[in-house]
Structure 1
Amino acid sequence: MRTEETTPAAEPVGPLSGPLKIPLVGRPLRLAGFFSDPVRSLLRIRERYGKLSAIQQGDARMVFAFSPELNREVLASTDRFCVRSLAENAPKTSALYRLRTHLLGLNGDDHRKARRLVSSAFTRPRVEAYREDMAALADKLFERWRLGEVIDVEREMQQLALWVVSHTVYGVSPTDANLGLGLRIKQIVQGLFSPVAMLLPHDLPGSPYRTLLRRAEAVEQELLALIAKKRTQPGEHRDALAALVHARGEDGAPFTDEELAGHTFLLFFGGYDTTANALGWTLLLLALHPRVLHDVQDELTVLQGAPPTHEQLAALPLLDAVVKESLRLLSPVAFTARSAARGATLGGHAIPERADVFISPLATHRLPEFYEHPNRFLPERWLKGEPPSPWAYLPFGAGPHVCVGASLAALEIRITLAMLLQRFTLLPPDGARIDHQVQATLSTKAGMPMRVLARQRVASPPRIEGDIRELFEAPVGT
């Protein structure tokens, strides 16, 4: 793995490169194409037009940046490139507009103050205190599985992540009754990322946008009810919402109910969908790479069937490398965006005010200058040399807006894998089809079928079908 960053090129001359500009209809067509398949679009744009390009030739209102140095310009320069909530154009009196009040919708001093308070719910002692709860919830999930059955691993990991986030963020017991809230939050985020909501954000009878607004109202009411309950029970709970309810800013002021609803809305989704997808993709990659699977299972024998302690997790280098490599190759957050402020420049190009600037962990993680054989699943790359810079490896983002719950997600992923791989070998049925999609995060279109087997050696990788094969070099036999 190469860690040095390239020397910035001389100031570019001329318009930004990009697909041929088509008068009138070009931009809408390019936008529709991008949001219908962001992964293919991002990788194709990077390959054809380089590390800095536009939605169409010379149209700097939507720009794509694909290098560590450009990532740093965008993510660290918060005065030039700020976050902009997808719901900022929602009706000002709507719940959808109010729920935008979270860390990914705040900039400058407002963000700094809010992040300091939200971070108080994710201190190291608080996160480490969840280890036993995470292990117990993983046990609860595994007890449902039967040897020989085919399960949808994506759905199972979503169920586990839902239980964990319900417990750690809301302090709510993991029962099926909580499934509705989690699904509605996920539907809202997916709706905000849908091309229909972006291109037709109008509250019309029967429209998808009206459905989105109604779902937001229902979620807001549920969140406010939880907040009210927490306010009447000071000191009784150790979940993130309880910590935020009783947190105080530098001026001694608490979060308002609206702010609490927005922050916990984001924390729930961030701890649910991204973590579940990271687990699913890791299990798929291990199933398709039997040698790596066997090696990590051998490393886990030191645990003797028990959940790992924090000290033991630190002494499992291959497990750590497997997780890092999975997050590199199939990063659940395929892209993120910032809005340009007045006078912004990027890579020497002037960027119009309020232009959308996209960066992509998934594309950055495939730059051959930094990752040898970038499309291969090679956990061993993390066991040698220096790690890449935070601008070249950013599965949880980077800069001031880096994911506040990253340590919680990392702990959940590693504990779940350590427990699961000691007990089971999960393999896709021969010929299983797995296709990808991006609805806020990288997931599958129709699930991830795998057969539950007792832990065992696998002679050769199973054969799979589907477009997921386009996102990495599958080993011989698949």
Structure 2
Amino acid sequence: MPDTTLPPRLPVHVPLGTRPLGLLASLSAARRNLLSIIPKIATTQPMVSGRTGARWHMVMDPDAIRAMLLERLDDYPKSLVTKNLLRPAIGESLFIAEGAHWRWQRRAAAPVFSHRNVMNLAPIMTAAAERCCARISAAGPRAVNLHDEMVTTTFDVISDVTFSGDSVFDKSGVHRAIDDYIAAAGKISLFDMLGFPDWVPRPGRLLSGNAVRQMKSVADSAIDARAARGHDGVPDLLDLLLAGEDPETKRRMSVAELRDNLLTFIVAGHETTALALSWSLYLCAFDQEVQERARAEAQSLLQGRAAGGEDVAELPYVRQIVDEAMRLYPPAGIISRTARKADTLCGREVRPGDTVMVPIYALHRNALLWREPDAFRPERFADRKAVPRYAYLPFGDGPRICIGASFAIQEAVIILATLLSRFRFTPVDGRTPGPVMIITLRPEGGVWLEAEAV
């Protein structure tokens, strides 16, 4: 369980392990909270290695991470554990695909997230933020679970920018299916940790089959309907994907490839942003001085009007809060790769087949890289050039950096600025959220805050 007896000026964090764990203990810990398999020494060392059924390494050195994610990308494909968790839902989409199959999809999808297209989607983000404010106001002056609100708000955004409000798209059905899939499939299997092949059934994942079928059925129906009917107005995500092609080969995505990438964007596009916003609001309630400064910035700029995409650059402190929230609570707390070739990282031997992890949660709190690493200090990001590039990886980096990173940042800044300009948030006694990672780093118990109109 997370440590809630912290010094008064440190936000909640996960107590990392101080003794080695065996295979069964590691499995048990991972099923409760994946972050608990990270040893505390990972926050003070550049690299930690061990064996839990198979050889593994955790890398916190920015130069070694750069080698893995940029210079020798093909030598470190995504791990079998990652693929086994996600393939049933999103197939060989951008998130999982490797080599040439990944490259052509990335080229075809890249224009979807161009600066112009992302800016065009700002009014949808703003409208969702306004609806969120209306719901909070209607609830009256009482405690609100802001995590639930952020999940609802960001799902409104991703569904509207994907399908432009098409009645064909069952938002609540897909939302339920995503939650059901994560709950059933997002448990680390002993078979995964032992490296069993894909064809060996994972009992937990078998239970998620209905949710997967429902997600894919809804997406297929929406794609077929749009292809037959077309869409007027500003192109949405589905329009842009349907029109997308690899500029080198002119290849276009099949219906199955469109569906898998669409589901990838829907799942990742609302989950990660909802988490960044939830933790940002928790931190703003934790430090009222930070919240007041951000509110003053937002109110000065917005002055009663709706936030737009062009405003993001004019809200630097709000952006710093989002950045710092993703440092302390990165949505993807661990990324995992499998070494394809023999290598040396930080002077240590890496063998083919070794699991090589970047524990982003520990990287972001590593005392070799960050001053007062457990403290909430948004001003760390006042000069982004001063932050070592491979020391801060909320969206990964290298060629496989999250394709929707600019979309997520714009959405988070617009929603957070809108909320802070309307409400003052304060903590609820006894309701501190617990950082727990299964697939993503969620606030267990929700983010309960008092919301007072300002």
Output the TM-score relative to the length of structure 2. 0.86
1:117 is matched with: 108
Contact 1:85 1:104 in 2 (8 A): no
Distance of 1:51 and 1:410 partners within structure 2: 29
Structure 1 residue 280, shift from structure 2 partner: 0.6
2:390 is matched with: 391
| CA deviation vs aligned residue, 1:376-426 (integer Å, no higher than 9, x gap) | 111122225833132111111111111000111101100001111111012
Structure 1 residue 97, shift from structure 2 partner: 4.1
Contact 2:186 2:438 in 1 (8 A): yes
Distance of 1:240 and 1:86 partners within structure 2: 29
Contact 1:425 1:453 in 2 (8 A): yes
* SS of equivalent residue, structure 1 residue 232: helix
* SS of equivalent residue, structure 1 residue 391: helix
2:51 is matched with: 56
* Number of residue-to-residue matches in the alignment: 426
- 1:180-329, aligned counterparts within 5 Å? 180-196=173-189, 198=192, 203=201, 207-234=203-230, 236=232, 238-249=235-246, 250-302=248-300, 303-329=302-328
Distance of 1:312 and 1:414 partners within structure 2: 9
Structure 1 residue 84, shift from structure 2 partner: 4.1
Distance of 1:85 and 1:168 partners within structure 2: 32
Using the TM superposition, name which of 397-406 and 162-171 deviates more: 162-171
| CA deviation vs aligned residue, 1:219-255 (integer Å, no higher than 9, x gap) | 2122111111122134536121221122122322210
Which amino acid letter does the alignment assign opposite residue 214 of structure 1? N
Contact 2:324 2:376 in 1 (8 A): yes
Which amino acid letter does the alignment assign opposite residue 103 of structure 1? L
- What 5-or-longer segments of structure 2 have no aligned partner? 1-17
Contact 1:331 1:442 in 2 (8 A): yes
Which amino acid letter does the alignment assign opposite residue 448 of structure 1? V
Distance of 1:122 and 1:362 partners within structure 2: 27
1:322–1:169 CA distance, 2 compared to 1 (3 A): same
- What 5-or-longer segments of structure 1 have no aligned partner? 1-17, 456-478
Confirm whether residue 337 of structure 1 aligns to residue 336 of structure 2: yes
Distance of 1:140 and 1:255 partners within structure 2: 34
| CA deviation vs aligned residue, 1:62-97 (integer Å, no higher than 9, x gap) | 22112212211221121210124657559xxxx954
Structure 1 residue 290, shift from structure 2 partner: 0.7
1:51–1:370 CA distance, 2 compared to 1 (3 A): closer
Relative contact order, higher structure (CA 8 A, sep 6+)? 2
Match of 1:168 among 156, 161, 167: 161
Distance of 2:89 and 2:266 partners within structure 1: 16
- 1:133-148, aligned counterparts within 5 Å? 133-145=124-136, 146-148=139-141
1:312–1:209 CA distance, 2 compared to 1 (3 A): closer
Structure 1 residue 29, shift from structure 2 partner: 3.0
* SS of equivalent residue, structure 1 residue 453: strand
Contact 1:339 1:355 in 2 (8 A): yes
Structure 1 residue 337, shift from structure 2 partner: 1.0
Match of 2:119 among 111, 128, 133: 128
Which amino acid letter does the alignment assign opposite residue 210 of structure 1? L
1:327–1:175 CA distance, 2 compared to 1 (3 A): farther
* SS of equivalent residue, structure 1 residue 394: coil
2:13 is matched with: none
Which amino acid letter does the alignment assign opposite residue 260 of structure 2? G
Contact 2:336 2:356 in 1 (8 A): yes
1:281–1:110 CA distance, 2 compared to 1 (3 A): same
2:28 is matched with: 32
Distance of 1:288 and 1:390 partners within structure 2: 28
1:261–1:319 CA distance, 2 compared to 1 (3 A): same
1:3 is matched with: none
Distance of 2:260 and 2:311 partners within structure 1: 36
1:389–1:433 CA distance, 2 compared to 1 (3 A): closer
Which amino acid letter does the alignment assign opposite residue 68 of structure 1? P
1:106 is matched with: 97
Which amino acid letter does the alignment assign opposite residue 132 of structure 1? P
Structure 1 residue 364, shift from structure 2 partner: 1.1
Using the TM superposition, name which of 341-350 and 126-135 deviates more: 341-350
Which amino acid letter does the alignment assign opposite residue 229 of structure 2? Q
Contact 1:80 1:340 in 2 (8 A): yes
Distance of 1:308 and 1:242 partners within structure 2: 25
Confirm whether residue 349 of structure 1 aligns to residue 348 of structure 2: yes
1:468 is matched with: none
Distance of 1:31 and 1:51 partners within structure 2: 25
2:360 is matched with: 361
Output the TM-score relative to the length of structure 1. 0.82
Contact 2:223 2:238 in 1 (8 A): yes
**Please, what is the CA RMSD of the aligned residues?**
2.7
Distance of 1:435 and 1:425 partners within structure 2: 22
Structure 1 residue 135, shift from structure 2 partner: 0.8
Contact 1:127 1:407 in 2 (8 A): yes
Distance of 1:156 and 1:176 partners within structure 2: 21
Which amino acid letter does the alignment assign opposite residue 32 of structure 1? S
Using the TM superposition, name which of 180-189 and 248-257 deviates more: 180-189
2:451 is matched with: 452
Using the TM superposition, name which of 140-149 and 341-350 deviates more: 341-350
